[in-house]
Amino acid sequence: MFEALLFDLDGTLLNIDMDYFLPRYFERMALMARDHGYQGADRLVEQIWSSTEKMIANTDPDKTNEEVFFEDFYQLWPHPPEEFSRFFDTFYQDEFPQLNVFCQPFAGVQQMMENLFERDFKIVIATNSVFPLTAIKHRLDWAGVGHFDYDLITSYENMHYCKPHPDYYKEICNVIGVKADNCLMIGNDTGEDLVAGKIGMKTFLVKDRLIDKGAGLHADWQGELQQLFHFLKNI
């Protein structure tokens, strides 16, 4: 029925409330910047948000999301890229893993993925590509599914678009070599995940941590995770 299965991560494979998680993530990053003596550490989070918005809005196919982010970020950030890039690397290596206390795995997700990898699917982690791959791999580990050999994990290093742009999903199709109508997108956010239907993908809306901000998009199928497990066993 499907050649490729695309999974959102946060709230779909990982039991995490991003409205709760993000403030604590940024608080730890700002604290680390202050501890390292960076001038303007109190403005770091504001600048990251601003540059992230530029990255999400970008539609230039010749620039990765990472390139767009840092081009904007270093226009106003007073510390040189050669120096501050090491700060980001250290943060995601040493500090970010400690944030796992603010989330937990969903029961049954690891077993679901094990079953799918025994079958002939291409499997993509289609998380919004606003994070570096390091941070995404940590969250996959927290979900108990970081050890699988995915066909693609979307990150800001390898993608040129973000959700909710339909081109984000077109790019995934191009990378994995599968037509949109042979893909199933599985996610919990009606605005970011169901937009895959606009390019011909089928969609399954996971309702355990439902995010619905009134996008007016509708899923082909929907249900709790237990219903998703049953659905995937039978396709």
DSSP state for residue 1 in the 8-state scheme: -
Domain count, the chain: 2
DSSP letters for 146-178: TTS--SEE--TTT-S--TT-HHHHHHHHHHHT-
Residue 42 has pLDDT above 90, yes or no: no
Q: Which of 74, 100, 126 is the last residue of a domain?
A: 100
Is the pLDDT reported for residue 23 higher than 90? yes
Say if residue 36 is exposed, middle or buried (CB neighbours under 10 Å; 0-12, 13-18, 19+). middle
pTM for this model (two decimals): 0.96
> Could you report the per-residue pLDDT of 30-41, keeping only the tens digit for each?
999 999 999 888
Count CB neighbours of 22 within 10 A.
15
**Domain final residue, candidates 100, 133, 148:** 100
1 pLDDT tier (thresholds 50, 70, 90)? confident
Q: Is the torsion defined by CA of 43, 45, 48, 53 positive or negative?
A: negative
User: Where among 44, 74, 100 does a domain terminate?
Assistant: 100
Q: What is the pLDDT of residues 123-149, one digit of tens each?
A: 999 999 999 999 999 999 999 999 999
- pLDDT tens-digit readout, 180-198: 999 999 999 999 999 999 9
Q: Which residues contact 111 (CB under 8 A, 6 or more apart)?
A: none
Contact by Cβ (8 Å): 147, 117 = no
